[in-house]
């Protein structure tokens, strides 16, 4: 017998929320639903282990450097669109730059809904949401 999977709690009201946006701020526009996440890539050192006779102290040199980068990516599966950035840090400023990149890929006659997790830089007070209208570079602070 198959187990019936319930919809996750955070998605329970998603259809109603999209309908509310479609009737309000996005009235008469195409709605693009985007999914966003970021990932750290690079060198991450581990403990170096060596075999040796009991009582001896064999040298175990290893690379002490750590280098990494962060990939910010977003997709709109329905429209077949994607936007990505590779940044040396992962903070509110980098997320703002990623939003600018996403907004460049949203159609002029569309309203974008961006789904993301609850990382600290997603909920910062310094977060700026870019709004594209007839006047470029207009923004709104949350």
Residue 53 lies in a domain: no
Who has greater pLDDT, 118 or 17?
Answer: 17
Residue 117 lies in a domain: yes
Task: Give the total number of structural domains in the chain.
Answer: 1
Range of the domain at 110: 29-42+65-142
Residue 97 lies in a domain: yes
Residue 10 lies in a domain: no
DSSP state of 91: S
| Rounded CA separation 128/99 (Å) | 9
Residue 47 lies in a domain: no
69-93 pLDDT per residue, tens:
999 999 999 999 999 999 998 888 8
Query: Which of 1-15, 51-65, 125-139 bottoms out in mean pLDDT, i.e. has the lowest?
Result: 125-139
| Rounded CA separation 56/121 (Å) | 48
Specify whether the backbone of 42 is left (phi greater than 0), alpha (psi in -120 to 50) or beta. left
Residue 122 lies in a domain: yes
Residue 12 lies in a domain: no
| Rounded CA separation 102/113 (Å) | 11
Long-range contacts of 80-87 (CB under 8 A, 24+ apart): 81/32, 81/105
Residue 90 lies in a domain: yes
DSSP state of 133: S
2-57 pLDDT per residue, tens:
666 666 666 678 888 889 888 988 888 999 999 999 998 887 666 667 778 888 87
């Amino acid at each position: 017998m198959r187990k019936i999977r319930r919809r996750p709690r955070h998605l329970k009201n998603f259809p109603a929320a999209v309908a509310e946006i479609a009737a309000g701020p996005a009235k008469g526009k195409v709605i693009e639903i985007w999914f966003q996440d970021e990932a750290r890539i690079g060198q991450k050192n581990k403990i170096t282990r060596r075999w040796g006779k009991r009582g001896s102290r064999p040298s175990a040199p290893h690379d002490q450097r750590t280098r990494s980068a962060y990939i910010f990516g977003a997709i709109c599966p329905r429209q077949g669109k994607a936007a990505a950035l590779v940044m040396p840090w992962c903070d509110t400023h980098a997320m703002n730059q990623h939003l600018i990149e996403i907004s460049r890929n949203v159609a002029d006659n569309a309203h974008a809904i961006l789904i993301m997790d609850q990382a600290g830089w997603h909920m910062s007070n310094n977060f700026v949401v870019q709004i594209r209208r007839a006047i470029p570079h207009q923004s709104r602070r949350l």
